[in-house]
Structure formats: structure tokens, C-alpha cells
């Protein structure tokens, strides 16, 4: 039941109506920007790790942030999928984007009025962790709803969203390299760097708000909104929109996509168990020194973007091969372990860099494949639910992986 621009036609009276052209690829650009925007706050928090580690030297910043963000996001997505029939995606996305702005403002304001570059004020760390949690709430609202709405559209728009999420990592990595090269690595320089990440993130999230509120005026979006409306109307004619019916529908959708979801969970259990905690805290280079984790994170993000862009060229549609590839990725565990405790060559920069880039490439491509395929397994009126379900699986994998990451410490 794939949704393509050639097969998605209006039913009954409008069956011969052609899909409007996505002029200048504006809709694609909007969904790419939305994907970039909703992951940018998380990337800003995690990329400012140098500053937070300087302020709070006794805290395992990366891992604490990851657990808080992922667990709150998981709970939020779970609630959204249960009650999405009682809420409007338009409202959820706008509220979520506004919460992103609030969470991103907390760190610069905290610096200006309380922390002021002083080390060891752990009250500031708890407030920052709370801001991360608020960003997790916003992510649940925005990511679940954006991916859900993209699930009702042809697969190129879902690919745009997923590629946008990877682009956010590349953008923040580029900013990190710029700030490290330009700003001094003392308290003031690190503070200026962190504030730049959050300022850029706020600007881009605001652009996302504008884009999202304008995209529905485009002819191609009006077409698909009409198609969705007719499909939902037919569905409501046949079923009562009661809580019991909805829960039954949700369980049916989850049952249909469970193996794809299982693959997504496996992807992020492996990825988050290694990245970014292992990269930033466990491997070291005498040559590159403190540039090493920054370059490794950049390499991961660039190859993650490459992987998520490759599905625009070739989409693997064989479920067994895709899920089997997710299982094969568990080989990264012994390989990265070898980079800590194995032969001397394995503990050098080249093997670690190659493995990190492969981790990003496989993460990007397989994530994009599975999330694109999930909405195609259900009827159009359930595509949004399937899209949200894919995010539920993704965040569950992220949460599990962020917890497993602590085993590197043990």
C-alpha cells in the first residue's frame, strides 16, 4: 500500500485529478527544515558538552542528558499515540516548537543571571537538566506529529524529514568546529560557544514555526489534506470514534509495523550505547587531543546525513534484509570494545574514526528505510498513527541505548 505521487489520487468524483506540482520543491524544503529544527535543540545541548563539563566537572553530562531527554520523550510519544485522535497535529507542533524556544532560552539566561561562568554551582546543572527534559517534551510533541503527518504524504517528504534530522547534527558540528577554532577555550570562550549554539537553534526553530504555518497553503499540501479528509470521513462513517475503537486501531497498527519497529529499536540501542558518550569520554588521542571527540562527532553526523540521503537514490524495500542488517550492527559492540582494550593498532585514531563513520552511515540509511516503509504498511487514514508509532519505537531505542551507554563506565 505504498503512497506515491503517481498512485495517490482522490477517490470517487476526483479520481482523475492530478497531484499538483511541488513547485521549486518548497514542500520538500519545509519538511527538511522541520526535521532539522526539531532535532537541533538536542544537538545544541549535547554539543555544548565542553562548557557543561567545565561548569560541572563531577557530573557525567552526556549520559545524564541522554537519559533525561530520551525517557521523557518516550513517555510523551506514548501518550501522544494513545490520545492523538483527541488532539490536533497542528496544535501539537506549534506548542512543541514554542516549548523548544523556552528550553533553549533557559541556558543563556541561566548563564547571565546565575552561573556567570562559575564552576560547581550544581543548582545550575539541575536547572539545565530540567531544560533538557522540557526539550524532550517538545520533541515528543513535534517529532511525533511531524513524522506522523509526513507518513500521510509520498515517501520523498518522509525522506526529507529524516535527512533534515541528520543535517541538524552536521550544522551543530560545523558550529562546534568554528567556535573551537575562533573562541578561546577558557570559561568565557566556552560560554560564548554554547550561547551561539542556542541562539542559532532558537532562530531556526522560529523559522520552522513560520514554515509550518505557511506550508498548508501550498497547492500540493491542500491536495493531500483533502485526500486525508476524505479517507478519514470514510473511516468515520464505518466506525465510531470511541476510545475503545481507537485503542483497538492503535494495537492493530502496532501489530502491523512491529517488525519494522523492532529494527528501529535495534538501530538505536546500538547507536546510543556508543554515541555520543563513548566517543566523548572513553577514547583519546595524543595527536588530536581535545579536537578528537569533536572530529569523531562530526564524522558520525556527516555519514549519518549521507545514509539518510541515500534513500532518495535507492530505497531498500526488503523487510528481512533491512531488519537483518539492524541485527548485524551489534558487531559494533565488540569492535568498539576492541578500540578500548584490543591490540594497539585498534586503539589508534584510524580504526576508531572508520568505525564511527560506519556507525553513522548504517544508522542513517537503515533508520530512513524503516521509517519510510512503516506508513506504507497501513491504510492512508492510519498512516499518521503508523508514523507516530515509528517515533515511539525510535525513542524507545534511544532511551534503552542511553541507559546501556552507562556500561562503558562500569
In a domain, 3, yes or no: no
CA distance 167 to 33: 9
Which pLDDT score is estimated for 17? 67
Retrieve residue 393's grid coordinates: 519505537
Query: Higher pLDDT residue, 17 or 146?
Result: 146
- For the whole model, what pTM was predicted? 0.86
Distances (CA, A) of 23 to 105, 147, 311: 35, 22, 22
- The yes-or-no verdict on residue 12 having pLDDT over 60 is no
For residue 99, pLDDT beyond 80: yes
Task: Calculate mean pLDDT across residues 178-193.
Answer: 87
Q: What is the CATH number of the domain that holds 64?
A: 1.20.1250.20
Does residue 133 sit within a domain? yes
Range scoring the smallest mean pLDDT among 45-54, 104-113, 126-135, 254-263: 45-54
Structural domain total, the chain? 1
Per the structure, the complete domain to which residue 320 belongs is given by 23-223+241-408
* Least-confidence region, from 36-40, 353-357, 376-380: 376-380
Is position 12 within any domain? no
277 part of a folded domain = yes
User: 225-235, pLDDT tens digit by residue?
Assistant: 887 777 665 55
Report for 112-116, 356-360, 384-388: range of highest mean pLDDT: 356-360
For residues 270 and 329, is the Cβ–Cβ distance under 8 A?
yes
pLDDT at 407 > cutoff 80: no
C-alpha cell at 190: 566556552
Arithmetic mean of pLDDT, 299-308: 96
pLDDT tens digits along 199-234: 999 999 999 999 999 998 888 888 888 877 776 655
**DSSP letters along 350-384, please?**
HHHHHHHHHHHHHHHHHHHHHHHHGGGGS-GGGHH
Contact 74, 401 (CB under 8 A): no
Contacts for 287 with CB less than 8 Å, ≥ 6 apart = 349
Burial string for 255-284 (b: 16+ CB within 10 Å, else e) reads ebbeebbbbbbbbbbbbbbbbbbbbbbbbe
Residue-wise DSSP of 37-93: HHHHHHHHHHHTHHHHHHH-TTS-HHHHHHHHHHHHHHHHHHHHHHHGGGS-HHHHH
For 46, counting Cβ atoms within 10 Å of its Cβ (0-12 exposed, 13-18 middle, 19+ buried), the class is: buried
> Would residue 2 count as lying in a domain?
no
3-state helix, strand and coil shares in percent for the chain, rounded to the nearest 5: 80, 0, 20
For residue 400, count other CB atoms closer than 10 A to its CB.
19
The answer to whether residue 16 sits within a structural domain is: no
Is residue 264 in a domain? yes
In a domain, 10, yes or no: no
Give the integer Cα–Cα distance in Å for 111 and 197.
14
Closest CA relative to residue 395, chosen from 93, 69, 175: 69
Amino acid at each position: 500500500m505504498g503512497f506515491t505521487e503517481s498512485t495517490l489520487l482522490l477517490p470517487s468524483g476526483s479520481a482523475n485529478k492530478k497531484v499538483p506540482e511541488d513547485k521549486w520543491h518548497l514542500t520538500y524544503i519545509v519538511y527538511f527544515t522541520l526535521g532539522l529544527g526539531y532535532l537541533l535543540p538536542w544537538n545544541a545541548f549535547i554539543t555544548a558538552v565542553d562548557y557543561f563539563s567545565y561548569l560541572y566537572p563531577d557530573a557525567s553530562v552526556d549520559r545524564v542528558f541522554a537519559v533525561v531527554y530520551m525517557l521523557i520523550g518516550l513517555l510523551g510519544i506514548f501518550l501522544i499515540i494513545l490520545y492523538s485522535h483527541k488532539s490536533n497535529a497542528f496544535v501539537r507542533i506549534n506548542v512543541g516548537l514554542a516549548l523548544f524556544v523556552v528550553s533553549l532560552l533557559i541556558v543563556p539566561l541561566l548563564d547571565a543571571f546565575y552561573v556567570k561562568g562559575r564552576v560547581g554551582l550544581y543548582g545550575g546543572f539541575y536547572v539545565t537538566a530540567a531544560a533538557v527534559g522540557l526539550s524532550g517534551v517538545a520533541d515528543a510533541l513535534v517529532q511525533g506529529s511531524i513524522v506522523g503527518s509526513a507518513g500521510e504524504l509520498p515517501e520523498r517528504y518522509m525522506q526529507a524529514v529524516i535527512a533534515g534530522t541528520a543535517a541538524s547534527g552536521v550544522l551543530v558540528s560545523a558550529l562546534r568546529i568554528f567556535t573551537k577554532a575562533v573562541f578561546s577555550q577558557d570559561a568565557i570562550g566556552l560560554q560564548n560557544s554554547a550561547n551561539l549554539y542556542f541562539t542559532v537553534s532558537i532562530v531556526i526553530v522560529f523559522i520552522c514555526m513560520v514554515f509550518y504555518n505557511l506550508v498548508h497553503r501550498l497547492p500540493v499540501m491542500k491536495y493531500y489534506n483533502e485526500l486525508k479528509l476524505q479517507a478519514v470521513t470514510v473511516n468515520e462513517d464505518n466506525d465510531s470514534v470511541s476510545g475503545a475503537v481507537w485503542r483497538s486501531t492503535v494495537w492493530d497498527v502496532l501489530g502491523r509495523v512491529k517488525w519494522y519497529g523492532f529494527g528501529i529499536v535495534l538501530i538505536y540501542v546500538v547507536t546510543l550505547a556508543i554515541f555520543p558518550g563513548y566517543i566523548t569520554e572513553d577514547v583519546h588521542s595524543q595527536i588530536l587531543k581535545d579536537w578528537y571527540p569533536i572530529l569523531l562527532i562530526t564524522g558520525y553526523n556527516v555519514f549519518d546525513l549521507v545514509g539518510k540521503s541515500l534513500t532518495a537514490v535507492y530505497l531498500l524495500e526488503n523487510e528481512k534484509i533491512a531488519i537483518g542488517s539492524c541485527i548485524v550492527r551489534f558487531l559494533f559492540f565488540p569492535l568498539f570494545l576492541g578500540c578500548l582494550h584490543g591490540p594497539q593498532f585498534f586503539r589508534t585514531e584510524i580504526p576508531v574514526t572508520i568505525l564511527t563513520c560506519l556507525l553513522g552511515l548504517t544508522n542513517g540509511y537503515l533508520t530512513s528505510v524503516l521509517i519510510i516503509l512503516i506508513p506504507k504498511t497501513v491504510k492512508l487514514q492510519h498512516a499518521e498513527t503508523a508514523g507516530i508509532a515509528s517515533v515511539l519505537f525510535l525513542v524507545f531505542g534511544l532511551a534503552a541505548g542511553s541507559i546501556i551507554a552507562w556500561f562503558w563506565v562500569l
